[in-house]
Structure 1
Amino acid sequence: MPRSLRIAIPALVVLVWLVVASVGGPFFGRISEVSTNDQTSFLPASADATAVQDRSSDFRDASGAPAIIVLERDGGLTGADTAAAGRIADALGDRDDVDQVSPVIPSEDGDAVEIVATLTASAETGDAVTAIRTDVDAALPDGVLGYVTGPAGFTADLTAAFAGIDGLLLGVALVAVLVILIVVYRSPLLPFLVLATAVFALTASILVVWALAKAGVVTVNGQVQGILSILVIGAATDYALLYTSRYREALRDHRTGWDATKAALRGSLEPIVASGGTVIVGVLCLLLSDLNSNKALGPVAAIGIAFSVLAALTLLPALLLCFRRAAFWPLRPAFGSAHPVLTGPDARGLWARVGRLVGRRSRVVWIVCTVGLLAMGTGLLGLRADGVPQSDLVIGQSQARDGQTVLADHFPGGSGSPALVLGDADRIDDLAAAVAGVDGVDAVAAAAKGAPSGSVPAGPDATRVGTGGAPSSVTAADPTVSRGQVLLEATLADPADSAAAEHTVRELRTAVERVDPGSRVGGVTATAIDTNDTGIRDRTVIIPVVLVVILLILMLLLRSIVTPLVLIGSVIVSFAAALGVGALVFDHLFHFPGADPSVPLFSFVFLVALGVDYNIFLMTRVREETLRHGPREGVLRGLGATGGVITSAGVVLAATFAALGVIPILFLVQIAFVVAFGVLLDTVVVRSLLVPALVLELGRRAWWPSRLSRRPGDM
């Protein structure tokens, strides 16, 4: 090829990526424009809570989230305190982002009052609640404590916790990766080339995801946004490490950078494409989810992985071709220099010692590793992953959580967050009697246009009941009827996100279905129930599908049945161990209240898909070496050649996922721990010891039924 083209091609590739980065760079800070943290929006349309939410605006003037302002003075509120509460309510009514404000509602013990301010549908919940909190604090009399809680308050706290996802999370991840790369390469330039590849891949991913979200094709929330950044940085760096390893080898065998680039691409193209393709297929299995939040992550993560592969196979080769051997300075690989000895008595270094251990004691190694992993997996017996209260989603300080506690001390726990019953208008009395007859319901009223929403406990149109009581009818000035249906608001005695409230709503659904089979129950508590139930269903369906799909891909890639079964088995055991240790740490070290159903699901998808990455890196090289040197020597040489790069990649990926822990959201912290620990376990134990020992034990049988299993040679 002419020298001019050898210069023009890499320059053009770098230029194209620079243009993509310049266009996509500004969208780093704009992805939040198209993201939402409204829990109901992620439920399937078939869920009861979704159907009720969609219809609730037909019965009430206000359709935004309610913010509950609760004021408390220990020893009892004074007349001046009550007057100040009235002024706060009036000020709230003058706000453009507030649709309706309830009267000031005093508690029976006289120590507190509450005000329910329903935001407008167009209000930005986080900004509105922040402004309301500022105004309330400024208007509080001395000695009175004020809180803004309720659904709007919790959403605001969640939004604030996600606020660091654009800058803090990415900054921590990049610094961690840079430090690791400097230690691995001992070069001042190469780490920046690898990191630039990852950042450019992320920039392109965010640009495409932003456009799709803006068009309504995908749904993005804080968790999807954070996982995308971590996944792309980690995966792109992994693929870059594999290519760089091959390029360094090629520079010893080829005089020119162009020839070395061609050789490196030949050696790394198949494993990188296969690894990326496996992860893409794995995350796309999330499309089988009924939860839109889970479903959204599938295509978004697939886009990120696709750009990670593309950048590792285009931008990085072009950058390394520009710098050639200088990229590795001061440890530049010279043309004609000897390759490291991988096996035999002359082999030196950590991986030579690991290879000798596995070669001499393969049976002992795989048995000990398997027993150890299974022992770690016993922690699964204590795993609680059926959902956590909304008040526990944010780790650390939360005004909404503190306010909810105060609210429950002085009012029915579900004040301001009623259960909503959508039913036949002709059966309103029977429905009301059924609702009020459920233990845990404090009051029930029919929604009406023009009436304040969320103020059921003390509103003049409310029917108050005791535990187990049943009113003869529901009173309302003029209950709104839409399409032959009415909406009942049932105030629960327990906090809306509590286990007791969930039990009440499940009983409520059973009770109203007897009266009106077409009725539906929604609201905050019902949304949490439907989300958790759907998440558990998704976990049960998607995990087996991911295993089967990845197993088939491995069989096609390795031309074998036995080895893919071994690899999938090792991944399952490794995942069980990581999640088991995670369960023990969550319960006994951090004392977390439980876990969201998405934690095992996301952890599984990432650990299996990314764990298979390392399987592919290892076994494609083992197969290549086995074709040349036989099965035993092939395993040891493959381990020696890939041990360093796989371990480095694992440490990088673990560090990037661990960075998720800086965001104070419970499920992100849990995913960060499980995936980071699982990746390290996978690279240090499974890929370095367990898999090589098992393949050595099987010998040529590991490659059955391919021709490699029938070739003569050592076993």
Structure 2
Amino acid sequence: MDAASPTSRRSDRRQTDRATTRWLRFGIPLVLVAVWLAGGAIGGPYFGKVDEVSTNDQASYLPQSAPSTKVNALLPDFLGSDSIPAVVVAQAPSALTDTQKADLTSLADRFGAVSGVTGTVSPPIISDDGRAAQIIVPVSSSASVGDVVGELRAAASDLSDGVQVWVTGPAGFTADLVKGFLGIDGLLLGVALLAVFVILVIVYRSPLLPVLVLLTSMFALCVALLTVWWLAKAGIFVLNGQVQGILFILVIGAATDYALLYTARFREAIGEGMPRWAATRAAWRGAFEPILASGGTVIAGLLCLLLSDLATNRALGPIAAIGIVFAMLSALTFLPSLLALFGRAAFWPFVPRHPLGALPDDFTAPVRGFWPRQARFIARRARPIWIIATIVLLAAGVGVTQLRAQGVPSSDLVLGASEARDGQAVLGDHFPAGSGSPVTIVAPQSDLTAVVSRLAAEPGISSVAVVSADSPSGQATATVQGGQLVLVSQGPPAATAPAPTVRDGDVLVYATLTDAADSTAAENVVRTIRADLDTQLGAGTTLVGGTTALDVDANDTAIHDRTEIIPVILGVILLILMLLLRSILAPVLLVLSVVVSFAAALGVSALVFDGVLGFPGADPSVPLYGFVFLVALGVDYNIFLMSRVREESVRHGTRRGILRGFVATGGVITSAGLVLAATFAALGVIPILFLAQIAFIVAFGVLLDTFVVRSLLVPALAYDLGKVIWWPSALWRRGAP
């Protein structure tokens, strides 16, 4: 057989190469889509399993060195179990009858049979006015507190004869908090996705493209949640409702922003007549660097939260960073694959068939289009624009002085109806308001008399008791008479005089507060007791814990974290911008613009919270969370803008490059800002004070960044300064003004 000719062999190779290329052009996108579909199919069911690895127990957030954490760790040694008290309070229109008291005693017995109740349920304790009673029910901290409290409330609903019953105390408030977070999986996602879909339909006027973008966000979230779930399962992170909600919103918002940036590049390439595969390559090259830079900046800012002493803050950093990683991966692999497969059809019915238009070179002449006209306005009035914008932002920032971010009572964490809050109000009407949530003090047995004497002298404490295994109720009322400690059994009389339970030379003392355990007055009592006992007995001799002490330690730790972490985040972001823009002055100005914008957002938010919404204050972590998201995400948009400005400045000079970069990025950044603001605003549908405040601060701040800082302040300031903005880079030395 004759050998084939060289021409025939070359023809065969070309046909083989074309066949291989066609297979790769469709095969690679199909494989990537299949991988993401598999990840979404595996991760999707984990939306319903988050409660298996999450906790809303405040004690688990604090560092091990906190006094209240140490006390919590010692409680099982004295009590035999680790529990959270539920306070069941019953109230009658008049004095309780013998029949009603018997019914309450029977109710206490039924409580003891509820799964998750551990230890001894107290008998009904009748108030001095005879109209109310309280029952202390210890709920195992390892049980599902929300479910246990639900069973207690169901059992209490059977009580009749005009007696009303509420379940309150630490367990009651935890149950209400858990109930408040129930909408995260369904309501929050539904509202966020609907808002994003509507915005995308308006922007692109296409029914298919918004679906592709939302799929990009949802699959990124599914895979991120799958990863986070197993890390939480392994005990690496502490996952709670607020971290979960922020993860959902951040991934949806960030993935959509990155998807918009890629889609804009792909649409531009399609409009220039490129086939789908060439358009995919061009769009990917154009979007890769800004997406990587912006995502890297957000990740760096989030990871600074690892410096926090609060476990929930320390967990949010890497958990949210994982979400951003998958948002970037989805926008750079899944969405490009979908658009490569759908091609022009993704933009139907408004398929781009012509180039979208060249950027104007002469902004002194009349121009067409909103963004070119805006650029021309900036060029003609640069200095007045940035000066007025700065003054307005600084004036708005004055409101920061009105922000009350020293902590809020547990009873105010849930917005709307709260049985625990109502029950606490009834409890305070008939008993010392701190009943059921006492201050717990671990002290050496040798100092017990001195500790009881000091506690009894405190006006904010109504009674003192000592844990005693000899007392039928497990506690003995403690007083000091004639310098001698006197213990009297609570409940039925004991066969012998009670003695304190001693563990490793220490005893456990309960001090009932006259004010509600989550009130400012109660916190002041705890601070006073700690200071006095340290002075009297020596620092560290006694440990003061309990619900109020947990609040004190959590607020103090959050304030410390806020003061320490914010400067670190600024430094890290500034360094990243310097490396990206290869300049010093431009990054400094960009960071300052974002800081001023954050101050304005926080100032306006403080006025709205106090004067319009009537919020009782804010958690100390609210400003920190707002700062992390607004600074990191605000710098995101500046990266989109200034990276394009630098690219244009190299070829056209700084001032013309600023205007061209502004026009080129105007539409996509504005759309991204609207999407991100809408997704964070969706947090407001969850009736939790912390999330509602974060929703407003971030949504308003993002809009401020989008329409004032990015659209007016930064381009006008950069245009006014000219090429000096690139100091000390080579572009400053060589570039045109």
TM-score between the two structures when normalised by the length of structure 2: 0.93
- In the TM superposition, what are the counterparts of 1:14-413 in structure 2 within 5 Å? 14-99=33-118, 100-139=120-159, 141-253=160-272, 255-334=274-353, 338-339=357-358, 341=360, 344=363, 345=365, 347-413=367-433
127 and 452 in structure 1: CA distance in 2 versus 1, 3 angstrom threshold: farther
2:478 corresponds, among 449, 463, 466, to: 463
Query: Following the alignment from structure 2 to structure 1, what is the Cα–Cα distance between the partners of residues 47 and 115?
Result: 30
Go from structure 1 to structure 2 and tell me whether the alpha carbon gap of 1:464 and 1:425 turns closer, same or farther (over 3 Å shift). Answer: closer
Q: CA deviation at 1:94?
A: 2.3
TM-aligned CA deviation for residue 620 of structure 1: 0.5
* Equivalent position SS for 2:462: strand
Is the CA contact 2:479–2:486 (under 8 Å) kept in the aligned structure 1?
no
Partner of 1:515: 537
Tell me the residue number matched to 1:599.
622
- Amino acid in the other structure paired with 1:274: A
RMSD: 1.6
SS of the equivalent of 1:482 reads: coil
Q: Retained in 2: the 8 A contact 1:252–1:338?
A: no
Q: How far is 1:349 from its partner?
A: 2.1
Q: CA 1:22/1:417 → structure 2, altered by over 3 Å: closer, same or farther? A: same
* CA separation of 1:450 and 1:463: change in aligned 2, threshold 3 A: closer
In 1, the alpha carbon distance for the partners of 2:57 and 2:538 equals 29
Partner Cα separation in structure 1 for residue 84 and residue 313 of structure 2 = 23
Tell me how far 1:624 sits from its aligned partner: 0.9
- Go from structure 1 to structure 2 and tell me whether the alpha carbon gap of 1:501 and 1:337 turns closer, same or farther (over 3 Å shift): closer
Distance 2:367 2:204 in 1: 21
Q: Secondary structure at the match of 1:331?
A: coil
Equivalent pair of 1:497/1:528 in contact (CA under 8 Å): yes
Structure 1 residues 12 and 495, CA gap change in structure 2 (3 angstroms): same
Question: Is the CA contact 2:308–2:314 (under 8 Å) kept in the aligned structure 1?
Answer: yes
Task: Measure, in 2, the Cα distance between the counterparts of 1:368 and 1:113.
Answer: 63
Shift of 1:330: 1.9
**Is 1:541 paired with 2:553?**
no
Q: Tell me the alpha carbon deviations over residues 638-666 of structure 1, each in whole angstroms, 9 at most, x when there is no partner.
A: 11111111110000000000000000000
Is the CA contact 1:391–1:497 (under 8 Å) kept in the aligned structure 2?
yes
Deviation per CA, 1:597-640, whole angstroms, max 9, x where unpaired?
A: 11100000000000010000000011111112111111111111
Q: Which amino acid aligns with 2:231?
A: L
Letter in 1 for 2:503: S
Residues 305-360 of structure 1: CA deviation (Å, up to 9, x unaligned): 00000100111111111111111122222265644658644632221221111110
* Closer, same or farther: CA 220–40 of 1 in aligned 2, 3 Å: same
Say if 1:596 and 1:452 are closer, same or farther in 2 by CA, change over 3 A. farther
Instruction: Indicate the residue corresponding to 1:494 in structure 2.
Output: 515
1:473 aligned residue? 485
Which residue of 2 is the match for residue 620 of structure 1? 643
Give the Cα–Cα distance (whole angstroms) in 2 for the partners of residues 274 and 233 of structure 1: 18
Structure 1 window deviating more from structure 2 (67-76 vs 190-199): it is 67-76
Flag the 1:509–1:503 CA change in 2: closer, same or farther, 3 A: same
Structure with larger Rg = 2
Letter in 2 for 1:172: V
**In the alignment, residue 485 of structure 2 is paired with which amino acid?**
S
Confirm or deny that 1:415 pairs with 2:415: no
Mapped to 2, the partners of 1:355 and 1:274 lie a distance apart of: 25
Cα distance, 1:213 vs. partner?
0.3
- % identical equivalent positions: 58
**What whole-Å deviation, never above 9, does each CA across 1:206-255 have from its counterpart, x for those lacking one?**
00000000000111000000000000000000000011111111223352
Preserved contact between residue 164 and residue 663 of structure 1 (Cα < 8 Å)? yes
What one-letter code is carried by the residue in structure 1 that aligns with 2:317?
G
- Does residue 441 of the first structure (1) align with residue 456 of the second (2)? no
* Structure 1 residue 484, shift from structure 2 partner: 1.4
Q: For residue 79 of structure 2, give the secondary structure of its aligned residue in structure 1.
A: coil
SS at match of 1:57: helix
- Which residue in the other structure is 1:711 paired with? 734
Structure 1 contact 343–355 (Cα < 8 Å) conserved: no
Distance in 1 (CA, whole Å) between partners of 2:255 and 2:355 is: 30
* Structure 1 residue 97: Cα displacement: 2.0
Q: Which amino acid aligns with 1:354?
A: Q
Partner of 2:83, secondary structure, is coil
CA change 1:250–1:601 in 2 (3 A) is: same
1:259-306 residue CA offsets vs partner (Å, 9 max, x unmatched): 111111111111100000000000000000001111110010000000
| Among candidates 673, 679, 688, match of residue 650 of structure 1 | 673
Contact 1:413 1:492 in 2 (8 A): yes
Task: Report how far residue 504 of structure 1 moved.
Answer: 0.6
> What is the 5 A alignment of 1:695-710?
695-710=718-733
Tell me how far 1:711 sits from its aligned partner.
1.9
Letter in 2 for 1:154: F
How far residue 78 of structure 1 moved from its aligned partner, in angstroms, is 2.1
| SS of the residue 1:473 aligns to | strand
Q: Deviations over 1:81-116 (max 9, x none)?
A: 212211111111222322221011010111111110
Q: 2:376 and 2:483 mapped to 1: Cα distance? A: 80
Cα distance in structure 2, aligned partners of 1:165 and 1:111: 40
Q: How many residues align?
A: 705
Report the 3-state secondary structure (helix = DSSP H, G, I; strand = E; otherwise coil) of the residue aligned with 2:568. helix
Q: Which segments of 5 or more consecutive residues in structure 1 lack a partner in the other structure?
A: none
Q: Is the 8 A contact 1:343 1:637 kept in 2?
A: no
Unaligned segments of structure 2, at least 5 residues: 1-16, 489-497
The residue matched to 1:219 in structure 2 has which SS?
A: coil
- Change in Cα spacing, 1:540 to 1:353, as seen in structure 2 (3 Å) is same
Residues 654-691 of structure 1 deviation map (CA, whole Å, 9 limit, x = unaligned): 00000000000001000000000000000000000000
Q: Tell me the alpha carbon deviations over residues 124-170 of structure 1, each in whole angstroms, 9 at most, x when there is no partner.
A: 1100101111110112x232211100000000000000111111111
Match of 1:425 among 427, 437, 445: 445
Contact preservation (8 Å) 2:196, 2:678: yes
Distance apart, 1:435 and its partner CA: 2.0
2-structure distance, mates of 1:66, 1:483: 25
Asked whether the equivalents of residues 423 and 519 of structure 1 are also in contact (C-alpha less than 8 Å), the reply is: yes
1:342/1:641 contact within 8 Å kept? no
Amino acid at match of 1:647: T
CA distance in 2, matches of 1:464, 1:114: 23
Q: What is the letter of the counterpart of residue 487 of structure 2?
A: T
Q: Which residue of 1 aligns with 2:594?
A: 571
Counterpart of 1:591 in 2: which secondary structure? Answer: coil
1:407 Cα deviation after fit: 0.5
Aligned CA distance change for structure 1 residues 673 and 451 (closer, same or farther; 3 Å): farther
CA distances 1:35-67 after superposition (whole Å, capped 9, x unpaired):
000000000000000000000110113421111
> Any idea what SS the aligned residue of 1:167 has?
helix
How far apart, CA to CA, are the structure 1 residues paired with 2:575 and 2:387?
Answer: 26
Q: TM-score, normalised by structure 1?
A: 0.96
Deviation for aligned residue 1:558: 0.4
Structure 1 residues 342 and 237: alpha-carbon distance in aligned structure 2, compared to 1, 3 A threshold = farther
